Amino acid sequence: MKEGGIFGFLGPNGAGKTTTIRLLTGVLTPDAGSVRIGGVDVHKDPLAAKLKMGVIPENSTVYGDLTAEQNILWTAKFYGLDRTTRELRAREILGRLGLTERKDDLVRTFSKGMKQRISIACAIVPSPKILILDEPTVGLDVQSRRLVIETVRQMNEEGSTIFLTTHNIEEANALCTTVSIIKQGQIIATGSPERLKKTFDTTQYVEISFGQPVEKELFGHEGIYRVERRGDKWRLYTDNPDHVVKYLGALAERENLVILSIATSGPTLEEAFVRLTEGA
Amino acid sequence: MMDPAVFARSVMVIAEKNMRIYYFKGPVVVFGLLFPFIMFLTFFIGRDLDIVLFFPGFLAMMLFFTASSVGPLITPWEKREKTYERLLSLPVTLDSLILGDIAAGSVFGVIITVIVWGMCAVYLHLALASAAVLAAGLVLGALAFAALGTLLASTATDTPSTVMMLSSLIRLPLIFVSGIFIPLGQMTGWEQLLTSLSPLTYLVDLFHASLNGDAVYPPALDGAVLVLVLLAFIYGAKIIQKRNLVKGL
């Protein structure tokens, strides 16, 4: 992982994303090989390695019996920050995450989104060199999700290297400088989102929606090799979009269908992900 | 090479968290505070017994229950509340976690026991044969039985009540075979053999030495046994917790 970037780790359920995070954070010990954080082996000197990182594990939360501020101050103590710095950082982060007014409330009274914000506050309080986030936006409302993404970006601008796992392909596309796709414990592709998309340059499709309900069988054309229903639209994968567009025009006229929208598109990161992890 | 200052800091910060969160949890209050009081009162009230003779045993039982009541709660509670994995990813090691838990249990045990001893000493005019031996007994007993609590917490469960039940199952029989209700000096034969197998016996004896000066074993032997028990409990807790670390995350 290059210093200073935002590294996204994508993979289907059970691919090994959380296991990788647990190896990085020293919770699991590798059977072979080693994990180095900023040049320090996590398993030989866990304390030195962990001092360089802030972590938000999946499905893990902060202490409900402590207040928002107590959670942050307590976490900062592990990193050896003096009292003045701890209090200053806690105030600054609480403000950044919109929690100043709730700082003295017990975390158990918070919503899931607010708890996740406190989790992030605790992870960034030491200004870590590496910020590790395991599915940080799962189950969050839109506001909390935006705040989390904004905080990740901000931390990266302030010099933290980010390692995050996500199911949200668009999030990875928008945030990450480098993405790795993992399948059954093996990295099967690594590159910038744009480079990964180009791997599937041949993947093109036409997306169409009609004013009337239609059946999948209607698209039985030799130039269309896959048909997917996407809400009120149909996505038709083809190697020759121009030809398919003409075919659809003729089809609509013949079947008396009203075309509400039609568009052609190139490959997406989601497409690259699906193609790479097929059968996982 | 691990930095000892960072390690010590992590132990202290973990202990601080445990003190803030777990000292006033229901199971700690019930099994740690009320239980030994009720046990002793049940035994003592309505019987013509010499309080001075039995007080060292009562004090040892108090320290035993209080020190060992915090540890069993911590890990299962954290696994259930989903705070454990985040804790593991902070600058801590398994060793610092175990020592932080033991520290919290020990401090709880020492504080409560000193308060009880202080109050009883004033109101009942109890003797003090050796303050140094009493202090050593308090520290060693608190550490050893807090380590027992941490060992009990090592089981792979995220249900605190299961661990508290297991802990009662182990702690209750010990108080009957440790010279608390029958003075050690009055035991012979197999009774003596049985009590010598309980680590609590050596704490009771150490308190007898420090308060009444009527110990059965030499205080150095009592202290050595408690140190060995402490090390054995820490080692056991480390082995089992390492094995169960990710279970229930």
Region B72-96 average pLDDT: 93
Q: Cβ A28–B92 below 8 Å, yes or no? A: no
Q: Which segments of chain A have a pLDDT < 50? A: none
ipTM of the prediction greater than 0.85, yes or no: yes
Q: Of the candidates A47, A66, A122, which has its C-beta nearest B6's C-beta?
A: A47
Mean of pLDDT over chain B: 91
pLDDT value of residue A202: 58
Instruction: Give the minimum alpha-carbon distance from B162 to chain A in angstroms, rounded to a whole number.
Output: 21
Q: Cβ A47–B7 below 8 Å, yes or no? A: yes
pLDDT value of residue B187: 82
pLDDT value of residue B13: 97
pLDDT value of residue A201: 58
pLDDT value of residue A125: 95
pLDDT at B19 over 90: yes
pLDDT at B56 over 70: yes
For residue A131, give the chain B residue with the closest CA.
B89
d(CA A152, CA A100): 19
For residue A49, give the chain B residue with the closest CA.
B91
Instruction: Give every CB contact of residue A274 below 8 A, 6+ residues apart in sequence.
Output: none
Instruction: Give the minimum alpha-carbon distance from B149 to chain A in angstroms, rounded to a whole number.
Output: 22
pLDDT band with cut points at 50, 70 and 90 for residue B142: very high
pLDDT value of residue A217: 85
3-state secondary structure labels for all residues of B64-132: HHHHHHHHHHHHHHHHHHCCHHHHHHCCCCHHHHHHHHHHHHHHHHHHHHHHHHHHHHHHHCCCCCCHH
Instruction: Give the minimum alpha-carbon distance from A132 to chain B in angstroms, rounded to a whole number.
Output: 10
Q: Cβ B85–A56 below 8 Å, yes or no? A: no
For residue A71, give the chain B residue with the closest CA.
B17
For residue A41, give the chain B residue with the closest CA.
B1
Q: Of the candidates B82, B84, B90, which has its C-beta nearest A78's C-beta?
A: B90
Q: Cβ B16–A77 below 8 Å, yes or no? A: yes
Q: Cβ A22–B246 below 8 Å, yes or no? A: yes
Query: CB of A208 within 8 A of CB of A188?
Result: no
For residue A26, give the chain B residue with the closest CA.
B89
pLDDT band with cut points at 50, 70 and 90 for residue B39: confident
Q: Find which of A65, A71, A119 to mutate to test the B interface (most B CBs within 10 Å of its CB).
A: A65
Question: Tokens 């409560």 identify what position?
Answer: B112
- Which amino acid belongs to residue A78? F
Instruction: Give every CB contact of residue A263 below 8 A, 6+ residues apart in sequence.
Output: A206, A207, A208
pLDDT value of residue A156: 94
Q: Bridge-partner residues for A186, per DSSP?
A: A183
pLDDT value of residue A267: 63
Instruction: Give the minimum alpha-carbon distance from B11 to chain A in angstroms, rounded to a whole number.
Output: 9
Q: Cβ B2–A48 below 8 Å, yes or no? A: yes
Strands A204-210 and A36-37 turn out to be unpaired
d(CA B57, CA B200): 9
Q: How far is CA A91 from CA A57, A68, A84, A111, B20, in A?
A: 23, 11, 11, 20, 21
Nearest Cα residue to B206 out of B113, B106, B104, B131: B131
Q: Cβ B20–A70 below 8 Å, yes or no? A: yes
pLDDT value of residue A166: 84
Instruction: Give the minimum alpha-carbon distance from B7 to chain A in angstroms, rounded to a whole number.
Output: 7
Radius of gyration of chain B from Cα atoms?
A: 18
Chain A CB contacts of B9 below 8 Å = 77-78, 80
pTM of the model: 0.84
Q: Cβ A55–B90 below 8 Å, yes or no? A: yes
pLDDT value of residue A185: 84
Question: Tokens 């994508």 identify what position?
Answer: A10
Tens digits of per-residue pLDDT, B88-111? 999 999 999 999 999 999 999 999
Region B117-137 average pLDDT: 92
For residue A79, give the chain B residue with the closest CA.
B91
Instruction: Give the minimum alpha-carbon distance from A76 to chain B in angstroms, rounded to a whole number.
Output: 10
Tens digits of per-residue pLDDT, B149-178? 999 988 877 788 888 888 888 888 898 889
pLDDT value of residue A209: 92
Which of A227-231, B54-58, B236-240 shows the highest mean pLDDT?
Answer: B236-240
Q: Which H/E stretch holds residue A108? A: none
Chain B CB contacts of A79 below 8 Å = 91
